[in-house]
Structure 1
Amino acid sequence: MIKMAQFHHIKFLYEVEGLSQRQIAQKLGISRNTVSKYLKQNEAPTTIHRQKNYHGKEYSDETKRVLPIIDQWLEGDLKRWGKQRHTAARIYRRLVDEYNFKGSESNIRKVVAKRKKKLQEVFIPLDFQLGHQFQFDWGEADIILQGRTQRIYLFCMQLSASRMRFVRAYLHEKQEAFLDGFVHAFEFFGGVPTEGVFDNLKTAVVKILQGRDRLEQDAFLALQAHYLFKAEFCNIRSGNEKGRVEGTVGYVRRNASVPLPDVQSLEELNAYLLDWCLREAEEKTVPFTKETVAQMWAKEKEYLHPYPSSLVLRVVVSIRNVCDH
């Protein structure tokens, strides 16, 4: 069974870089049949599914019946507030009430303890594999610019797996700033993730269609075509689906903008913000790991789609010129 990161790499090479199954097999040193098998899967195997080896004595058929349910609940807990997760007693009660479980509570306690330990040691959320996703949002903050208080707009992007942040300040949230921010962000990150998660920004969306479908701005579509990433949009009034990046907006405002930065130019402010992101990355660790954000970011770079090799023609200008014509 391949590892989660390798599964993503197979998908990435096939869907983004356009390699054939034979080329992927040669590049990764695995069989063509293995490549074919995992390309047919719509979802990667979770850590739980990859490690179905429940050590020790064989479980009863009744316990085996509810193991997938327990695994699902415990994996879901990792994305929730720590004080509002399942206890072993609560899991047992739910199994009895909802699934007519006939086994003992003591046995469920042992199973839950073993599964929690394994998850804490090796679990990486499926939604946030290295190089797969970034999240974006705008924020606002006040600064002192040339001696006067000025409201500025923060372009905030975060890699979902490594938690690496990029923040850049603008005087407005217009499309020019929106597109320019991506040029600088991808250059800073050292590559491009496969997809990005967005709110329903007017600079990106012309019209909200049914479900998650959107009619996107031509300039934004051109940006995606240039950098080869796919935009995913939150449900209406569900901006909280972006989770981490909205937390980043508030965190930046409270930590990088208090007291108010006193600068002479936006260039000075952006140099400060970039340095702040790098220092934070050296000091903060990634949840469920012992690695710093900077260390995980170094690994994630290997999974990012290559930054366009040709000199970027200030994509903001070239894209707008194409759209204007």
Structure 2
Amino acid sequence: MHALRVLGGVPRGRVRYDNLKAAVAQVLGLSRARVETGRWIAFRSHFAIESFYCHPGIDGAHEKGGAEGQSGYFRRNHFTPVPEVDSLAELNEMVEQWDLHDGRRRIGSRPRTIDEYFAVEQPLLPPLPDEPFETGRVFTPRVDRYSPHSAARTPPGRPTATAMNCPPARPRPLALPSTTAVVRSEAPPART
């Protein structure tokens, strides 16, 4: 979602994917056929994105080389040594600044910068849909007379009468960086 907002549009045609777990429930043999997760199907449908999966293993290594190479460049140049930050928000801000800075560089001996090439392509992107995509899911907790219920949906120890009437819960998505970083935090409180 964030990437599409930064791009200012939706990629046209096929988007090449590795076999990320958020999208692929099962790889079917050595072909490009996949069983996709329900949320991934909803995401692709919302943004009208056609998926194109890389072959698994060594057979598909050449299919995503450019993306892998640029990810490695970013990791080596910005996450080595591993940055120390006080919060995820601070890390995300650092990544945004590094990304803006990287837009001003040239890849190899190419005549233009990354930003110059993108300036040509960006107007060709179809616009983002007016309706935002809901990344979370709504759950309505149910309990029986013995009051077992999911800790993710209803706080444990809640009385049965209260749990039976609890409102729908919407878990919030957690944004994590794609590369590990050290986030400083206070020591957890001692148990009493």
Interval of TM-score (by shorter of Structure 1 and Structure 2): 0.5 to 0.7
Aligned to 1:214: 34
Verify: 1:189 aligned to 2:10, yes or no: no
Cα distance in 1 for partners of 2:10, 2:66 equals 18
What runs of 5+ residues in structure 1 fail to find an aligned partner? Answer: 1-182
Q: Give the conservation status (yes or no) of the 8 Å contact 1:197–1:234.
A: yes
Cα distance in 2 for partners of 1:193, 1:201 equals 18
Verify: 1:242 aligned to 2:77, yes or no: no
Aligned to 1:259: 81
User: Offset of 1:271 from its aligned partner?
Assistant: 0.9
Aligned to 2:45: 225
Higher relative contact order (CA 8 A, sep 6+): 2
Instruction: Describe the SS at the equivalent of 1:231.
Output: strand
Letter in structure 1 aligned against 2:9: G
Taking structure 1 as the reference length, what is the TM-score of the superposition? 0.39
**CA, structure 1 residues 289+253, in 2 after alignment: closer, same or farther (shift >3 Å)?**
closer
**CA, structure 1 residues 206+260, in 2 after alignment: closer, same or farther (shift >3 Å)?**
closer
* Count of aligned positions: 135
Cα distance in 2 for partners of 1:256, 1:197 equals 25
Instruction: Describe the SS at the equivalent of 1:282.
Output: coil
Aligned to 1:292: 113
**CA, structure 1 residues 265+240, in 2 after alignment: closer, same or farther (shift >3 Å)?**
farther
For the aligned residue pairs, the C-alpha RMSD in angstroms reads 1.9
User: Offset of 1:289 from its aligned partner?
Assistant: 4.4
What runs of 5+ residues in structure 2 fail to find an aligned partner? Answer: 140-192
User: Offset of 1:303 from its aligned partner?
Assistant: 1.3
**CA, structure 1 residues 209+260, in 2 after alignment: closer, same or farther (shift >3 Å)?**
closer
Instruction: Describe the SS at the equivalent of 1:290.
Output: coil
Instruction: Describe the SS at the equivalent of 1:206.
Output: strand
Letter in structure 1 aligned against 2:116: Q
Taking structure 2 as the reference length, what is the TM-score of the superposition? 0.64
Letter in structure 2 aligned against 1:188: V
Instruction: Describe the SS at the equivalent of 2:26.
Output: strand
Cα distance in 2 for partners of 1:208, 1:321 equals 28
User: Offset of 1:288 from its aligned partner?
Assistant: 6.8
Aligned to 1:201: 20
* C-alpha distance after superposition, 1:62-108 (max 9, x if no partner): xxxxxxxxxxxxxxxxxxxxxxxxxxxxxxxxxxxxxxxxxxxxxxx
User: Offset of 1:309 from its aligned partner?
Assistant: 2.2
User: Offset of 1:222 from its aligned partner?
Assistant: 0.4
Instruction: Describe the SS at the equivalent of 2:135.
Output: helix
Letter in structure 2 aligned against 1:184: H
Aligned to 2:164: none
Determine which structure has the larger strand proportion and give its number: 1
Higher alpha-carbon Rg: 1
